[in-house]
Amino acid sequence: MARSGDSAASAGGSGARPTSILAVVALAVVLVAALVGVDLLVLSRNNPAQAIAPHYYMALGDSLSFGYQPNLDFSAGFADDIFNDLHFVDVTGIVNYACPGETTDTFIHGGCVGRFAHHGSYTGAQLTAAVDFLKKEANRGHVSPITLELGSNDVIPDWDPSTCTASPNVDIDLAHMDDNLTKVILPQLLDALQSRTNANNGDLHLLNYYNPYAKECPDSAQFVHTVNDHLAADAAQFKIPVVDVYGAFDQFNNGAGMANNICTLTWICDSRFHDIHPTNTGYTVIAKAVELALGLPGMGPLPGVGVPAPAGDRSAPEAALWRRAAAETV
């Protein structure tokens, strides 16, 4: 039989126990919060690439940046390959505003023929969407790299594959392409990339073009070289590097040459489609050329593909975000 004193002591003990438990839980919560705060502080100071803020790769341009294939596989483009390979430096998202059929005119003013099928959720002109995204305060310092593939649709109508000849309008169209790139598109993109400290948010790279007609029109090389020379000259005005996609296609398969490689790297020889767009293998070659131009660590060339030398001056005022992150994680 319990004594009255024992009962009182037991009652008092059971009443104090919840208070003790709450105190321990509260102390544990405080300690965990403090440890998380310290971890985040160390992380942000010592490894910016792993900070919580998102980090985007941006792909702009035409059907090649979009990743178009005539078999309706739109998920294996070079932008997809690059984004997958950028994961190890903590690029967390891709912004792909590319539109199939985009010209430099529609890039500026809107009206792209493929505007109802692009990956990005925007209306109007691609340039406006890209500039708005880059200038958004939450995105400043969080977009790098940026690739731009644009210009071919300005002049493709000037090439007749049935006669393997260029239209007399090609010089006029090339001059118009130059004006759009150098007077509107590149200046606006570079302006949007400037941070308040006047340092680039990330690297902008322009891509040149392979020759889809190399096999069926052996003399077409001059036409494509002329287009690529114009793109290189436009980019050089702003010290923007150019990724040599032409060279990568030409050097594929141990330097077999554009005409010998084009059936493997594009759909042009496939009787079902006879389409100038890259195959999965072609897009992989483009992605590798971009990654080599970017200097992405650990990215060796594909078997049989030499390292293409990008044109232009790569003297950006600040290293790209992913490059800084990679250097700090070594």
**In the chain, % of residues over pLDDT 90:** 63
pLDDT of residue 202: 58
pLDDT of residue 40: 39
pLDDT of residue 21: 56
Mean pLDDT calculated for residue range 21-47? 45
pLDDT of residue 52: 58
**Rg of the chain in Å (alpha carbons):** 27
User: pLDDT category, 283, cuts 50, 70, 90?
Assistant: very high
**CA angle (145, 150, 180) in 5-degree steps:** 110
pLDDT of residue 262: 98
**What one-character-per-residue DSSP string does 128-171 give?**
HHHHHHHHSGGGTT-EEEEEEE--HHHHGGGEETTTTEE-TTHH
User: pLDDT category, 11, cuts 50, 70, 90?
Assistant: very low
User: pLDDT category, 276, cuts 50, 70, 90?
Assistant: very high
Domains and CATH numbers, the chain: 51-329 (3.40.50.1110)
Burial profile 8-38: b = 16 or more Cβ within 10 angstroms, e = fewer: eeeeeeeeeeeeeeeeeeeeeeeeeeeeeee
Can you tell me the distance from the alpha carbon of 248 to that of 285, in angstroms, rounded to the nearest whole number?
7
Q: For residue 309, what is the enclosing H or E element?
A: none
Mean pLDDT calculated for residue range 156-180? 97
CB atoms within 10 A of CB 121: 7
72 CB-side CA count, 13 A = 1
Q: What is the pLDDT of residues 207-239, one digit of tens each?
A: 999 999 999 999 999 999 999 999 999 999 999
Integer CA distances (angstroms), 209 to 39, 115, 310, in order: 46, 22, 13
